[in-house]
């Protein structure tokens, strides 16, 4: 019994050390989110407004410390910042796990301007980065597939599973180094001004099940490498672009959703994986006609 008591006491002390002076939120997480706030809020009134609640002390009724960003609930004390746990389900349907790690930045449908900020790389436990419905400009963020800090062995946002930059004003190509982000399960970049072809390397992403590229200015053929995504890719949204050629690369896939309409250059036979998927509509294409 004495040994058990010592073990419990040691465990309780370890929990106190982990919680630190910032309550349930891990101290390194508090430092990281403050860094993001201090770098981004001076950008413009739009960023400052979005981060208006990012201050301490936090509400004592939902805090376990003076600056408890995560709070007693997954939704957190700071607007747009959630702590759903580093393990288990993620996304809006998850109530999360109270482990004190910031896992979600969800700043949507506000007028965030300028390029997508690299400062978010400081949030190493982030699983979701949702900045959709804004006015962000410039290229797709190449830094997502690069080390952070620069020159280190650690990749920016190594645990990122969902990236949503849809309905912004991004332009230019989708960089091939996005394939370095092997943790990604969802890429949602519809409703931008992105151009160029789909990088072949995307087919090497082992967990990517949702790819939404619709309503951009993409062109070229569907990469033949997509034939290797049969056991992973579940949703592919290509409508409203300038893709061309046939869809043979999608034959081995098992798509639940496949949207390809309004691509005048698409032609040829329609694989069963596309024809019987939800959302399939050949309007605005030459699918079913010889290429």
Tens digit of pLDDT at every position of the chain (291 positions): 334 333 233 333 233 333 334 458 999 999 999 999 999 999 999 999 999 999 999 999 999 889 999 988 778 899 999 998 888 776 666 666 778 999 999 999 999 999 999 999 999 999 999 999 999 999 999 999 999 888 888 899 999 999 999 999 999 999 999 999 999 999 999 999 999 999 999 999 999 999 999 999 999 999 999 999 988 999 999 999 999 999 999 999 999 999 999 999 999 999 999 999 999 999 999 999 999
Domain residue limits, the chain: 22-287
Q: Exposed (0-12), middle (13-18) or buried (19+): which is 223, by Cβ within 10 Å?
A: middle
* Terminal-residue alpha carbon distance, the chain: 79
Task: Provide the 10 A C-beta neighbour count for residue 177.
Answer: 14
Whole-number pLDDT of residue 15: 36
Sheet holding 135-139, edge to edge: 113-114, 135-139, 169-173, 193-196, 217-220, 242-245, 265-268, 286-287
Task: Provide the 10 A C-beta neighbour count for residue 289.
Answer: 11
Question: Whose structure tokens read 């080390």?
Answer: 147
Question: Whose structure tokens read 């069963």?
Answer: 272
Strands 162-164 and 81-82: unpaired
CATH for 22-287 is: 3.80.10.10
CA distances, 176 to each of 93, 173, 202, 284 (Å): 31, 9, 7, 28
d(CA 204, CA 184): 11
List the structure tokens of 67.
Answer: 């600056």
The radius of gyration of the chain's CA atoms, rounded to the nearest angstrom, is 22
| Selection from 224, 232, 229, 150 nearest residue 185 by Cα | 232
d(CA 175, CA 77): 35
DSSP 221: P
Whole-number pLDDT of residue 19: 37
Whole-number pLDDT of residue 117: 96
Whole-number pLDDT of residue 92: 61
């Amino acid at each position: 019994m004495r040994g058990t008591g010592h073990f419990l006491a040691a465990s309780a002390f370890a929990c106190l050390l982990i919680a630190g002076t910032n309550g349930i939120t891990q101290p390194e997480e508090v430092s990281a989110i403050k860094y993001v706030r201090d770098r981004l809020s001076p950008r413009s009134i739009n960023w400052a407004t979005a981060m208006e609640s990012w201050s301490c002390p936090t509400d004592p009724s939902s805090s376990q410390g003076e600056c408890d960003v995560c709070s007693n609930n997954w939704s957190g004390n700071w607007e747009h910042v959630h702590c759903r746990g580093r393990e288990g389900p993620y996304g809006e349907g998850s109530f999360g796990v109270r482990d004190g790690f910031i896992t979600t930045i969800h700043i949507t449908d506000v007028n965030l301007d300028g390029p997508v900020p690299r400062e978010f790389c400081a949030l190493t436990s982030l699983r979701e980065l949702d900045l959709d419905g804004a006015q962000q400009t410039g290229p797709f963020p190449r830094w997502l597939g690069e080390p952070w800090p620069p020159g280190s062995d650690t990749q920016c946002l190594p645990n990122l599973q969902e990236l949503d930059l849809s309905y912004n004003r991004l332009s230019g190509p989708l960089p091939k180094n996005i394939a370095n982000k092997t943790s990604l399960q969802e890429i949602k970049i519809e409703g931008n001004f992105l151009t160029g072809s789909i990088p072949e390397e995307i087919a090497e992403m082992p967990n990517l099940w949702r790819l939404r590229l619709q309503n951009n200015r993409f062109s070229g053929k569907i990469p033949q490498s997509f034939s290797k995504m049969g056991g992973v890719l579940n949703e592919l949204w290509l409508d409203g672009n300038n893709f061309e050629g046939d869809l043979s690369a999608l034959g081995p896939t098992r798509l639940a959703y496949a949207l390809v309409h309004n691509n005048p250059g698409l032609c040829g036979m329609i694989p069963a994986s596309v024809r019987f998927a939800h959302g399939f509509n050949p309007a605005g294409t030459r699918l079913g006609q010889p290429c």
